[in-house]
C-alpha cells in the first residue's frame, strides 16, 4: 500500500511539473489577433483625425455662415473648406505572420471546381508550379520546422484534385 501511495505521489509531482511547460506554448491565433488589433488601432486613429478635420470645417462654416449674408456664400465657403481637407491615405495592410496556406481553415474553403484565381486568393501564391498540357499543379510546401506539404491540381482553370497538408 505504501508503494502505491508513493508511486501516486511521484506521478502527481511529475504531472504538476509539466503544467508550466504546457502553459507556455504560444498560440499562432493570439499573435494574429495582436497584429489585427494593432492594425485596427491605426485605422481608428486615422478616422479620428479625419473626423476632427471635418468638425473643424463644419465649425468654420457655421461661424462664417453666421456672418455671411446668403446661403450661396455659405456653400462656397463650405466647398473651399472641403477642398482644403487633406485626404488621409488608407493604411497599408499588414502582411500575415504565416502564409495563408498554413491555416487548415483556409484549406477547408478550397472545394473542387473553383477557379485558379479563387485558390490563389484563399491560399496565396504557391511555392512551386508545374504544367503538363492542360493540367497545372500548384505545390505548397514548407521546408521549415512544420514540414507542411500540400498540392492543388487544375484541369483547364478548375480544381480537380486537392491534397491538403497533414495538420
Q: What is the pLDDT of residues 76-96, one digit of tens each?
A: 888 887 777 766 677 777 766
Helix and strand numbers (H, E) in the chain are 5, 4
Q: What is the pLDDT of residues 118-140, one digit of tens each?
A: 999 999 999 999 999 999 999 99
Q: What pTM value is reported for the model?
A: 0.43
| In contact, 153 and 160? CB cutoff 8 Å | yes
Q: What is the pLDDT of residues 27-67, one digit of tens each?
A: 778 888 888 888 888 888 889 988 888 888 888 777 765 65
89-98, long-range: CB within 8 Å, 24+ apart, which pairs? Answer: 90/46, 91/39, 91/42, 91/43, 91/46, 93/39, 94/35, 94/38, 94/39, 96/32, 96/35, 97/28, 97/31, 97/32, 97/35, 98/28, 98/32
DSSP code of residue 86: P
How many Cβ atoms are within 10 Å of 70's Cβ, its own excluded? 9
Question: What's residue 91's pLDDT?
Answer: 73
Q: What is the separation of C-alpha 165 from the centre of its chain, rounded to a whole number of angstroms?
A: 21
Cα angle value 48/51/52 (rounded, 5°): 85
Q: What is the pLDDT of residues 145-158, one digit of tens each?
A: 678 899 999 999 99
Amino acid at each position: 500500500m505504501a508503494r502505491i501511495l508513493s508511486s501516486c505521489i511521484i506521478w502527481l509531482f511529475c504531472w504538476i511539473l509539466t503544467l508550466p511547460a504546457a502553459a507556455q506554448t504560444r498560440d499562432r491565433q493570439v499573435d494574429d489577433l495582436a497584429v489585427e488589433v494593432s492594425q485596427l488601432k491605426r485605422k481608428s486613429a486615422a478616422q479620428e483625425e479625419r473626423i476632427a478635420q471635418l468638425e473643424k470645417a463644419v465649425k468654420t462654416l457655421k461661424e462664417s455662415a453666421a456672418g455671411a449674408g446668403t446661403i450661396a456664400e455659405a456653400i462656397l465657403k463650405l466647398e473651399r473648406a472641403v477642398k482644403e481637407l487633406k485626404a488621409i491615405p488608407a493604411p497599408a495592410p499588414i502582411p500575415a505572420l504565416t502564409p495563408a496556406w498554413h491555416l487548415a481553415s483556409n484549406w477547408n474553403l478550397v472545394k473542387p471546381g473553383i477557379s485558379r484565381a479563387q485558390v490563389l486568393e484563399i491560399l496565396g501564391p504557391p511555392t512551386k508550379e508545374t504544367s503538363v498540357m492542360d493540367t497545372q499543379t500548384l505545390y505548397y510546401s514548407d521546408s521549415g520546422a512544420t514540414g507542411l506539404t500540400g498540392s492543388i491540381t487544375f484541369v483547364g482553370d478548375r480544381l480537380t484534385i486537392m491534397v491538403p497538408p497533414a495538420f
